[in-house]
Structure 1
Amino acid sequence: MKYPKGTKPGSQKAAGIRRMKDKEVRYGSRGMTLEKDLDLANRYYLERGRAVIHKKPTPVQIVNVDYPSRNKAKISEAYFKVPSTSDYNGLYRGKYIDFEAKETRNKSRFPFINIHEHQVEHMNQCYTHGGIVFIIIKFSMYDETYLLPFEKFLHYWESFLNDGRKSIRYTDVRTDSITLKTGINPRIDYLAAVDEFYFENGD
């Protein structure tokens, strides 16, 4: 390793530089967002015929359209709408699958402000009709990702609606979820956790 001028290899300054370099390597993979990881995983599953799961497009409300010429239209003003359903849906092993993906920088809890009531209602309807429903939660400060089955999430949500906690504690997420391991292809193999919870347990 090359050191700045006047820095001896055994000095405290050199040790600090080494720690900074190590930190750059260790945290270099954290720039990839949860959504990007899941999109790559879904493409991997699709290409190998394992599942058909897609991200739902965010609805947009168009307000103004300009027509600079007869054959051309240009959107000059539009707004993102609040999604009325969850983020991802599709088919896996003959079952409908539906899930929400959320990322938080909070170290101690997952705040319910990150999810909308109508999204929970939609997931509850899918769950009631026999779908596989869950929430994927990433605690970005720890670089840890969990699959929380909807039936376990619902317990905390109903408590929240009855003036309970406004969040799920990090420790409770760890207890009630399946940890999603990271790899290369796919980076997040969340279907392995689906197999473990929904199929290997006899569901």
Structure 2
Amino acid sequence: MAIRYPNGKKYVPVQKKDTARKVNPSFSNRGKTLEDELNESNEYYLHHGIAVIHKKPVPIQVVNVKYPARSAAVITEAYFRTPSTTDYNGVWQGKYIDFEAKETKNKTSFPLQNIHEHQVMHMKNISSQGGIAFFVIRFSTLDRYFILPYASFSNKWKRMIDGGRKSITLAEIEKDAIEIQPGFHPRLDYIQALDTLAAKSTETIERQEQER
């Protein structure tokens, strides 16, 4: 199926195609994508009344459909109605959260080439309204997961726009992000990481007020 952006440019999937787990084969969920792991974690949160978080539907306008059989329809061409924003959003403890999930096979850095300006602007708007915006980043080869808050990401994005490096080093992520240790129930407990992130944000606000 051919899917195109509103400007007619063909959409080519990247990063999330081949994400089979190659590290620690003892895990029963090896081969699952980051999206699979997050969806399962979100189901756990919903079932236990912890948070209500869902993957956003993709706004697609169908153009052409073929009917190879009476009981089957195949979409052969479609367009994105509007530019996509981020992957997930929802509510946790009265707070609006909004995040993008990204995977990379790179062992030393996280490339910024697959993040779009309109996504960054969306996360900026969320943050300005008091929402919690962040990235869930998986280094698939290393089997490591991180929560990178928008505030930390935005500095690296600006660095790229100003002509600097086009990636965030693993060392920078280790410093600015919160690492998630994968488990089973839920698989990725990123809500616990948000507790830590919220505490750090509160400390930062209190320190800034004291310095005034």
The reply to whether TM is greater than 0.5 is yes
Inter-partner Cα distance in structure 2 for 1:76 and 1:173: 40
Inter-partner Cα distance in structure 1 for 2:85 and 2:94: 21
CA distance 1:68–1:40, change in 2 (3 Å): closer
Q: Deviations over 1:80-109 (max 9, x none)?
A: 638521000000010100000100001111
Deviation at 1:76, TM superposition (A): 4.0
8 Å Cα contact 2:136/2:145 also seen in 1? yes
The count of residues paired between Structure 1 and Structure 2 equals 179
Runs of 4+ more than 6 Å apart: none
Give the TM-score, by structure 1 length: 0.80
Inter-partner Cα distance in structure 2 for 1:157 and 1:90: 25
Inter-partner Cα distance in structure 1 for 2:67 and 2:106: 46
Map 1:36-75 to 2 at 5 A.
Answer: 36-65=36-65, 74-75=73-74
Identity over aligned pairs, percent: 47
- Show the counterpart of 1:155: 155
Which one has the bigger helix percentage? 1
Q: Of the two, which has the highest radius of gyration?
A: 1
Aligned residue identity for 2:24 = R
- Show the counterpart of 1:34: 34
Deviation at 1:26, TM superposition (A): 2.9
CA distance 1:116–1:48, change in 2 (3 Å): same
The higher-RCO structure (CA 8 Å, 6+ apart) is 2
- Unaligned ranges ≥5, structure 2: 1-21, 206-212
- Show the counterpart of 2:78: 79
- Show the counterpart of 2:117: 117
Q: Deviations over 1:86-142 (max 9, x none)?
A: 000000010100000100001111111121111111111101111011101100010
1:96 corresponds to 2:99: no
Kindly report the root-mean-square deviation, in angstroms, between the aligned alpha carbons of the 2 structures. Answer: 2.5
CA distance 1:139–1:25, change in 2 (3 Å): closer
Inter-partner Cα distance in structure 2 for 1:66 and 1:185: 42
CA distance 1:74–1:80, change in 2 (3 Å): same
